[in-house]
Structure 1
Amino acid sequence: MKTLVLTGESITLENLYEIANNPEIKAELAPSARALMQKSRDYIEGRIKNGEVMYGVNTGFGAFSSVRISDSEIEQLQRNLIRSHSMGIGEPFTKNQSRAMMVLRANALARGHSGIRPTVVDKVLEFLNNDIIPVIPCQGSVGASGDLAPLSHLALGVIGEGEVWQNGQVVPVQKVLAEKKIQPLELKAKEGLSMINGCQVMTALGLLTAWEARRLLWMADLAGVMSLEGLRGSRKPFDPLISATRPHPGEAKTARNLMKLMGEKSEISESHAVGDPRVQDAYSLRCMPAVHGAAKDALRYVVKVLETEANSSTDNPLVFADDNKVLSCGNFHGMPVAHAMDFAGIAISSQASICECRISKMISPVMSELPAFLTPNGGLNSGHMIVQVAAASLVSENKILAHPASVDSIPTSAEKEDHVSMGTIAARKFEKILRNAENVVAMEMLSACQALDLLAPLKPTAAVQAAFDHIRKQVPFAKEDRYFAKDVEAIKGMMVKNELIKVAEQAVGPLEW
C-alpha cells in the first residue's frame, strides 16, 4: 500500500493530485515532524503555565484579540471558534478536493510552528485514511486570515460535528464515527485556531486544477497540430532556429512539441508544398509557439507558487521554540496564491481563445478551402456552424471570469482585517475557466477531425493520425447534421482520461510542458 509521509515539505503537484483522487493511498506524519510539533507544543504549554497572554491561545480572535480568556475556558474557546466560523455557503467542494485540503492542512501543521499537539495531525489523517471526508461549502472565504469558513467546516467534522461524505451522500459525522468506531478530536489550547488559519482551500483547489491545466496544454498542442494539418498549414514557423532567438522556455518547448507531433512532412503537407499561393498562415497557426508557450510559462510559475505555499507555515501566531518567540504575523494572507490563481485563469482563457480562432478558420471556406462549415451538403446541413458559436460563447464567458479577483478587497472583522485577498474566489474561477477551455479544445478536435476527413485520402502525420483514429472509434465522420454536443462530450471524456495524449505520445514520444 502506498503512503505519503508528511514532513511539512512533502507536497508536489503530482503527489497531491494522486492522493486526492485515490483513497487507497494513505498519509502519515513523519517522525521528524512529530518531534518538531511536540517541541513546539511543550514550549507553548510552558508559557501558558507561566500565565502569559498569547493571541489565539488565551485571548479572543480578530477584533476580540484584547479579550483575555480564563484557563478554564480555553477549550471551550477553541470549540466556539470552529462552530461560529463554520459559515460556508453554497455547493460543496467535491470529495476529492476536500481530501486535498485535509492533506495540505496536515502538512502545514506538520512543520511545527503552530504549537499544537501531534495528535491533531494524527486525527486529521485518521479521518482521511478512513475516508471520513468533511463536507466543505465552496463560498464564504475572503482569503485573508486563511480560508476561515471552509477550513472551519473541515475542522468541524474532525471534532465530531457537522457533515461528511458517505457513498456520495451528505450525512452527519456522528453516524459515520459510530459505524467506524472512531473518536473525534478534542481541541486543546490554540488548536482550533491552528486548524483554520491558512490558505489550504485555495491552494488545494489551485493545485488540483493546475494538474488538469497541464494536461489541457498538451491537448491544445495536439489540437493545434490537428487543425494545422486540416488547414494545410506550414511547418516553417516552428523551426528551432526561431525560438532560439526569443528564449522564453515555453515557446521553445511548444515548438518542439509541435514539430514532434507533426513530423517533417505528411501526405497533406506534401500536397501543397508546391504552388501554394499563401505566404503566411493566420496567427492562430503561426503563433502557436508564442501563445501556447506563454500559457506553459504561466502555469509553471503558478505551480511553483502553489507548491511553495503547500509547504509553508501559515498559522498565526507562529511558534519558534528554539528562538523563544511566539510571533503574531500575516502568513495566513492569501495574496501570493490569489495573484497566481488570477494569472492562471488569464493564461488558460487566452489558450482557449486561440483554439476557438482555429475552429473559426476551419469552418470558413475562404480560410480553409474546405466546404463551408465542414459539411458536404451545406444548406440542408448546418455542419459545424454552432460548434464555433458555442466555442465563442465559452471563450467570451472566460473573458468575464478572468477578471482578477485579487484586485478587490473589502474590510472584515470590524476593520481589524482590513485587506483581504479573495484568493479562494480566484481559485474557483480558475477551475471554471479550465472546464470551459476543456470543452473548447474538444470542439477544436471535433472540427479538426471533420476537416481531416474532408481531405481524405490524404493522410496526416503519425501522431495526428493516431489521435484521429482514436476519436473516430466513438465519433464518426458527420455526413449530415447530428447531435454534436454528444460528440464534444465523448472527446472531452477521452481528454480527461488522458487517452489522446497517450496515443499521440506512443506514436512520437513524450511532450514537454
Structure 2
Amino acid sequence: MERTLMLDGSSLTIEAVTAVAREYVKVEISLEAMERIEAGRRLVYELAESDVPVYGFNRGVGLNKDRHIVSKYYQEYNRNLILAHCVAVEPEASEEVVRAVLLVRLNTLLVGCTGIQPAIVTMYKDMLNHRIHPVLPERGSVGEADITCLSHIGLAMIGEGEVDYQGIRMGAREALEKAGLSPVALGPKDGLAIVSSNALAAGKGAIILKDAVDLINIADMMYALTLEGYKGNVSPLEEAAYKVRPFPGQAHTAERVRKYLEGSYLWLPGVSDALQDPLSLRGSCQVHGSVRDALDYVIKYMDIQLNSSDDNPCLLMEERRMISCSNYEVTTWVLGFEMLGIALSHLSRNACYRIIKLGTPRFTGLSRFLTPADTRVIAYGTIQKTFTALDAEIRHLSNPCTVDYFSLAGEIEDHANNSPLVVEKTRKIVDNLFYILAIEAIHGAQAIDLRKATRLGIGTKAAYEAIRSEIPFLEEDRNLTIDIKKAYVLLKSGKLLKAVNRALEQI
C-alpha cells in the first residue's frame, strides 16, 4: 500500500522529511490547514484594498521597502521579485534535498501566517507527488531566509527555468504540462512568501539530523566491536558509574553498548589484562554522549522550525493584521549545528585513535597492523593515512562560521548566520565519519578473527556477521579501497544497524 503523509503545519518530523525526500512518500494537506490558507488569502485582499503599508506586499523588500507597489502591478512585481532573487550559484541541490526543501516550505506555509494563494500551496504538494524537482543552486544564501536559492522554486512554479521531472532535465513549463499542471499566476505577497523562508537550510538540516542519529548509533556499535577485538576493560560501562554522574547522552550510549555486548567473553572474570585502557576506549561513552546531547538540542529546535512560521511579514489572523518581524532568524538552531559539528569532531578523533590502537601490538597483543602473516602481508598499515586525512577535514569543518557575515542591502541587513553553509559542513562531517567508522568496522572484525574470539555479544555478533558478509578476513594484501567502500555502504545504508536490531529483538 502506498504511503501518504498528511501535512497540517504542526506535526512534521525529521523522520518524515527524510521519508518524503528519499522514499518518495506522497503528501496530502489536511482540510483544516487548507482552510487556514484560504482564510489568510481573503485577509490579504482585504488589506490590499485598505492600502495599509505592508513589507513585500504593497511595498518593496530590502532597501526598497519604501517603494509603493500599485495593485494592478502585483503580478508583474512578484514575477520581477522572483527573477531578481535568482542569483545563487552551483552546486545544484540533490534530488533528496530539493524534495526536503519543498516539503519543509509547504508545511511552514500551512501554519497560516503567510497569506499566500492556495494554488501555490497546492503546487508545492503537486511538485512533490509528480516528482517535479526545480533546479536549485545551493550557494548564495547568508541564512536570513534562503531567498537567493528558493527563488528558483518560484521560477519553476511560474513555468520558467529548469526542473528534473521524474529524473529527466527539461524546461519547467514542459514538465508542468506533462504532469497536467498549469503555471501559477502570482498575486500580492506570493513572491516574497515563496523566496523568504529557511527551507533550504532546514530541509537539508533535517535529513542530516536523521543521518547523524543513525551515525551515533553505529558509532556505539563500532565501539562495542572494537572492545571485543581489543579485549578491552568493560568496567567503564558499568551502570553505577553513570548513576552518580547522570549526563543523559553518555548514560544512553553506555546502556546501548552493554546491550550490544550482552553474552560477550569480555564480561568473564579476569579477561582484561589492563587495569585501565587508553582514554579513546575508556571514555568513548562520554564522547559519544556529548554527540547525543548536542543532537537532542538541535532536534528540539529543528522540530520547532519545521512546524512554525518563518515569514516576514507575519499574518496574524486572529488580530486581522500583518506585521514586520524577524521570524526568519534561525541562529538558535544554527548554533546547535555548530555545536554538533564540534562534538562530532571529538567523536572522529576518538574513533581514529581506537583504530590506531587496534593496529598496535603493545596495546592489543595482536600482530602489527592486524596482519595475518608478519613478514609477508602488510595489511592495515597504510590505511591509517586515509582515516587521519578524513579526520583532518572534519577538524577543519568543525570550525564555527556562523558569525562571519557582512552588513548588506544598504546596511539595513546587518545580521546573518550562514545557516546553509553551517548545515552543509555538518553534512560533510557526518559523511566523513561514516567512512571512518567503516574503517573501524574492518579493523574490529579483523582483530576478532585474529584473537579467535568466538563468544561475542548479541549485538556485536550480528554486526560482525554483517561485516563478514561483505568483507572477508584479510588473508592476503588486496585493494582496500574496495573494502572501505563496501563497509561505508553497509553502514550508511542502515543494513548493519537493521541486522543488529533484529538480533536484539530476539532476546
Question: Which bin holds the TM-score, normalised by the shorter protein?
Answer: over 0.9
Q: State the Cα deviation string for residues 270-327 of structure 1 (Å, max 9, x = none).
A: 4xx4385421011111112211111111112111111110111011111113213211
Distance in 1 between residues matched to 2:506 and 2:415, nearest whole Å: 45
Residue in structure 1 matched with residue 84 of structure 2 by the alignment: 84
Q: 1:451 aligns with which of 447, 454, 460?
A: 447
Deviation at 1:260, TM superposition (A): 0.5
Distance in 1 between residues matched to 2:139 and 2:451, nearest whole Å: 49
Deviation at 1:479, TM superposition (A): 1.6
Q: State the Cα deviation string for residues 430-476 of structure 1 (Å, max 9, x = none).
A: 11111100000000001111111111154422322221122112211
Question: Aligned letter for 1:185?
Answer: V
Deviation at 1:269, TM superposition (A): 5.5
Aligned positions of 1:233-382 closer than 5 A: 233-266=232-265, 270=268, 273-274=269-270, 277-382=273-378
Distance in 1 between residues matched to 2:166 and 2:179, nearest whole Å: 14
Residue in structure 2 matched with residue 480 of structure 1 by the alignment: 476
Over 3 Å counting, the alpha-carbon distance change for 1:10 and 1:159 in structure 2 is farther
- Structure 2, unaligned runs of 5 or more: none
Residue in structure 1 matched with residue 497 of structure 2 by the alignment: 501
Over 3 Å counting, the alpha-carbon distance change for 1:325 and 1:178 in structure 2 is closer
Give the SS at the match of 2:466. helix
Give the SS at the match of 1:27. strand
Distance in 1 between residues matched to 2:475 and 2:426, nearest whole Å: 37
Residue in structure 2 matched with residue 51 of structure 1 by the alignment: 51
Check the 8 A contact 1:443/1:488 in 2, yes or no: yes
After the TM superposition, which parts of structure 1 deviate over 4 Å for at least 4 consecutive aligned residues? none
Distance in 1 between residues matched to 2:264 and 2:329, nearest whole Å: 52
Residue in structure 2 matched with residue 122 of structure 1 by the alignment: 122
Over 3 Å counting, the alpha-carbon distance change for 1:223 and 1:49 in structure 2 is same
Question: Aligned letter for 1:443?
Answer: I
Over 3 Å counting, the alpha-carbon distance change for 1:403 and 1:39 in structure 2 is same
Deviation at 1:228, TM superposition (A): 0.5
Question: Aligned letter for 1:195?
Answer: I
Distance in 2 between residues matched to 1:169 and 1:392, nearest whole Å: 39
Residue in structure 2 matched with residue 409 of structure 1 by the alignment: 405
Residue in structure 2 matched with residue 148 of structure 1 by the alignment: 147
Question: Aligned letter for 1:139?
Answer: R
Q: Does 1:183 align with 2:182?
A: yes
Check the 8 A contact 1:319/1:327 in 2, yes or no: yes
Distance in 2 between residues matched to 1:131 and 1:251, nearest whole Å: 41
Check the 8 A contact 2:88/2:149 in 1, yes or no: yes
Residue in structure 2 matched with residue 134 of structure 1 by the alignment: 134
Give the SS at the match of 1:339. helix
Larger mean Cα displacement after TM superposition, 117-126 or 171-180? 171-180
Residue in structure 2 matched with residue 389 of structure 1 by the alignment: 385
Residue in structure 2 matched with residue 41 of structure 1 by the alignment: 41
Number of paired residues? 506
Distance in 1 between residues matched to 2:271 and 2:307, nearest whole Å: 58
Question: Aligned letter for 1:339?
Answer: L
Q: Does 1:205 align with 2:201?
A: no
Distance in 2 between residues matched to 1:181 and 1:322, nearest whole Å: 37
Give the SS at the match of 1:280. coil
Q: Does 1:192 align with 2:182?
A: no
Residue in structure 1 matched with residue 63 of structure 2 by the alignment: 63
Deviation at 1:131, TM superposition (A): 0.9
Larger mean Cα displacement after TM superposition, 58-67 or 329-338? 329-338
Give the SS at the match of 1:9. coil
Q: Alignment identity in percent? A: 29
Distance in 2 between residues matched to 1:35 and 1:26, nearest whole Å: 21
Distance in 2 between residues matched to 1:158 and 1:130, nearest whole Å: 13
Distance in 1 between residues matched to 2:27 and 2:478, nearest whole Å: 48
Distance in 2 between residues matched to 1:330 and 1:243, nearest whole Å: 42
Distance in 1 between residues matched to 2:506 and 2:314, nearest whole Å: 44
Distance in 2 between residues matched to 1:159 and 1:262, nearest whole Å: 57
Deviation at 1:233, TM superposition (A): 0.4
Residue in structure 1 matched with residue 22 of structure 2 by the alignment: 21
Distance in 2 between residues matched to 1:278 and 1:105, nearest whole Å: 55
TM norm structure 2: 0.96
Give the SS at the match of 1:404. coil
Check the 8 A contact 2:403/2:416 in 1, yes or no: no
Larger mean Cα displacement after TM superposition, 461-470 or 153-162? 461-470
Check the 8 A contact 1:106/1:125 in 2, yes or no: yes
TM norm structure 1: 0.95
Question: Aligned letter for 1:421?
Answer: N
Check the 8 A contact 1:28/1:122 in 2, yes or no: no
Question: Aligned letter for 1:221?
Answer: D
Larger mean Cα displacement after TM superposition, 41-50 or 393-402? 41-50
Larger mean Cα displacement after TM superposition, 120-129 or 331-340? 331-340
Distance in 2 between residues matched to 1:128 and 1:5, nearest whole Å: 13
Question: Aligned letter for 1:133?
Answer: H
Check the 8 A contact 1:233/1:269 in 2, yes or no: no
RMSD: 1.7
Q: 2:487 aligns with which of 482, 485, 491?
A: 491
Distance in 2 between residues matched to 1:429 and 1:493, nearest whole Å: 21
Give the SS at the match of 2:133. coil
Distance in 1 between residues matched to 2:117 and 2:237, nearest whole Å: 56
Over 3 Å counting, the alpha-carbon distance change for 1:390 and 1:88 in structure 2 is same
Distance in 2 between residues matched to 1:152 and 1:425, nearest whole Å: 18
Question: Aligned letter for 2:36?
Answer: L
Distance in 2 between residues matched to 1:228 and 1:119, nearest whole Å: 57
Distance in 2 between residues matched to 1:387 and 1:373, nearest whole Å: 9
Q: State the Cα deviation string for residues 341-366 of structure 1 (Å, max 9, x = none).
A: 21222222222221111001001111
Q: State the Cα deviation string for residues 175-205 of structure 1 (Å, max 9, x = none).
A: 2122223101111100110111111111111
Deviation at 1:63, TM superposition (A): 0.4
Q: Does 1:2 align with 2:6?
A: no
Question: Aligned letter for 1:350?
Answer: H
Over 3 Å counting, the alpha-carbon distance change for 1:128 and 1:291 in structure 2 is same
Over 3 Å counting, the alpha-carbon distance change for 1:175 and 1:504 in structure 2 is same
